[in-house]
Amino acid sequence: MTARTAAAQRVPVLSAVDVTKVFGGTRALRGVSLDVLAGRVTALFGENGAGKSTLMKILAGIETPTTGRVLLDGEERRFGSAREAADAGISIIHQELSLCPNLSIADNLFLARERRTRTGGVDRRAQQRAAREVMLRLEEDLDPATPVGDLRLGQQQLVEIARALLQDARVLIMDEPTSALSATEVDVLFAVVRDLSASGVAVVYISHHLDEALEIADDVVVLRDGALVAQAGARDVDVAWIVRQMVGRESDSLFPPRHPTLGDVLLDVRDLVVVDPRSPERLAVDDVSLQVRAGEIVGLYGLMGAGRTELLETVAGRNPVGSGQVLLDGEELRGSIADRIDQGVVLVPEDRQRDGLVQSMSVGRNLSLASIAGLTRRLLLSPPRERAQVAQMVTDVTVKTASADAPIGSLSGGNQQKVVIGKALMTQPRLLLLDEPSRGVDVGAKADVFDLMARQAEHGLAVLFTTSEAEEALHVPDRLLVLARGRLVGEFRRGELTREQLMSVSDGAPTTTTPGATS
């Protein structure tokens, strides 16, 4: 470690000791020990599914470890809830926003910790004053009475951050706090983080934006497949070192070279506009045109809220087209999700627990679910045919399972993802849409998933997938499209782009109008 680190500063406030966490069939953490030091920013790196968020949730008292201990000021603590941890001075900013869109900024900031008047009522004026102050600290001059649902995603994320700031925490855990922030907003946030750190707060910082996180960090910790694999001072390492530790091998071996043979244009999206299904006053996809050829793998890269998911869901038939056209093989795609599956378009959703799998069904039945109508003979299912096709698919997508009758929950995250992909492939699609296919899967399964995509593309399948990981965006697709705030801001061939260029492009050109203004 560097000499500038005075021994007095190295006081662990919060420690994880030999922490293991098991979810269903997945080991999220295996014997991780980590000290969080007062007055320092510890950056935590790792791929999706490496266990970063789980470790943070355990430190913040949201999850209890399967085995191992959490120490606060050297004493073992078992927090019963996030509230208990917060009362002990540990504050967490979640990757997913946990705000109530119907409530105002001030009400959200003080939710469950309302300021009281002498008579016991809510002291709204004090709350509004404090809310305005804390938002100004983040350089957002907003009326505290504004409903959070009316704010841009980036501003919502700042409200989330402000809520943690208000709690005067001794330990502040930030899980992807900048995923929806612009470059200037990130600068403001970093100034605040440096202030906090200088005043003795221990900060844990998680981000996919490696160089950004490296900029703010004092110490660097890398997780891979649930284990802590490397630890160093931020001054001693660079982005390439971090990537090596995260992936565990050179990235070339994870992404083998491809020599695609492209067919005709299969998917042709023209001037597509999609209204955000969650907040109808803004546009999720704003005038996007793109094409995917048979045999081609096209990647869609963008930050949270860039409109990737909405774009894929619109092609799959889950969201209505606002305006513009979606053509498959020259004909307009219409009808329900089921109709589009019949026409050869199928979506592998981002959230496999919520949208991909039926937990109460077996591995085999999940696999055959989307193609079950095609496995019938005189109205009834043919069990031997179903078994044979399921067995074939288990082999094709290399699902590791005890049997096809095993409960789906007994599989690891990566194998569950292969089941969702296998289910989609069993419909014999021409166009495969994958939304964040590598999310929450370990490195080995990730390589399998990309290999699977490549093999299917060789047989003429058109693949359109989204990713928020720069490594994947740079190496997997034949062609990469970059989305920012619903707009297409760049198109690149493989090898044309560096990581740094990708980061700056995906922040969105400052000249683009805010999406809300056009609706």
Q: List contacts with other proteins (CB under 8 A).
A: 20, 22-25, 27, 29-31, 66-67, 226, 316, 318, 336-338, 341-342, 346-347, 349, 354-361, 365, 368-370, 372-373, 375-376, 379-381, 383, 402, 409-410, 423, 427
CB of 34 to other proteins, least distance (A): 15
411 phi/psi in degrees, rounded to 5 = -90, 155
SS (H, E, C) 14-33: EEEEEEEEEECCEEEEEEEE
Please give the Cα distance from 485 to 478 (Å, whole number): 23
328 versus 341: smaller Cβ distance to other proteins: 341
Cβ density class 131-161: b for 16+ within 10 Å, e for less: bbebbeebebebebeeebebbbbbbbbbbbb
CB of 410 to other proteins, least distance (A): 7
Polymer length of the chain: 519
67 versus 498: smaller Cβ distance to other proteins: 67
CB of 454 to other proteins, least distance (A): 24
Cβ density class 230-255: b for 16+ within 10 Å, e for less: beeebeebeeeebbebbbeeeeeebb
354 versus 459: smaller Cβ distance to other proteins: 354
Please give the Cα distance from 297 to 432 (Å, whole number): 10
25 versus 324: smaller Cβ distance to other proteins: 25
287 versus 342: smaller Cβ distance to other proteins: 342
CB of 424 to other proteins, least distance (A): 9
Pairing relationship of beta strands 171-175 and 202-206 according to DSSP bridges: parallel
CB of 336 to other proteins, least distance (A): 8
Amino acid at site 237? V
Name the token pair of 125: 């004026």
192 versus 227: smaller Cβ distance to other proteins: 227
Pairing relationship of beta strands 431-435 and 75-76 according to DSSP bridges: unpaired
352 versus 485: smaller Cβ distance to other proteins: 352
CB of 22 to other proteins, least distance (A): 4
CB of 30 to other proteins, least distance (A): 4
Burial of 422 (0-12, 13-18, 19+ CB in 10 A): buried
CB of 257 to other proteins, least distance (A): 32
225 versus 478: smaller Cβ distance to other proteins: 225
Residues 60, 185, 189: CA angle, nearest 5 degrees: 40
124 phi/psi in degrees, rounded to 5 = -65, -35
SS (H, E, C) 223-273: EECCEEEEEEEHHHCCHHHHHHHHHCCCHHHHCCCCCCCCCCEEEEEEEEE
336 versus 519: smaller Cβ distance to other proteins: 336
Which DSSP state fits 10? -
Q: Which of 418, 390, 391, 294 is nearest to 345 (CA)?
A: 294
CB of 357 to other proteins, least distance (A): 6
Please give the Cα distance from 395 to 124 (Å, whole number): 61
72 phi/psi in degrees, rounded to 5 = -115, 120
261 versus 360: smaller Cβ distance to other proteins: 360
CB of 325 to other proteins, least distance (A): 23
Q: Please state the separation of Cα 180 from the chain's center in Å.
A: 11
